[in-house]
Amino acid sequence: MTHLLPPEFFTATVPLNAYLILSAILFAIGACGFMFRKNIITIYMCIELMLNAVNLSFVTFSYQFGKVDGQIYSFFVMVVAAAEAAVGLAIILTIFRNRGTLQIDEIDTLKN
């Protein structure tokens, strides 16, 4: 037995297109939140949501083509997301220490 789920479990009742559709919808939800949230931390969460949606596409295609490469890319995306979260949250902490707010409206030094 090479997989956690036995082969009898897979009855091919769910087409792979369904996974891709779900990935597209998840990405759209993430992009939507990215556009209308006003708080830096929640905007960051929306970025994670979008990365996760892309990962789902990668894994679906990996299953489809019978190659493990898609899962490797997905793993790299996860690692880069972790690095991004570490640096990004440090930046958020610094912004909060210097300005006392995390509302994107009030962090507009570059705009003026």
CA pair distance 22, 56, nearest whole angstrom: 9
The token pair that represents 67 in the structure block: 């190659």
Q: Quick one: which H or E segment has residue 78?
A: helix 69-99
Smaller CB distance to other proteins: residue 15 or 110? 15
Write out the two tokens for 21.
């559709």
Nearer to other proteins, 5 or 110 (CB): 5
> Which CB sits closer to other proteins, 28 or 111?
28
The minimum distance between CB 110 and other proteins, in angstroms, equals 18
* Smallest separation, CB 34 to other proteins (Å): 9
CB of 112 to other proteins, least distance (A): 20
Backbone φ and ψ for 11, nearest 5 degrees, come out as -110, 10
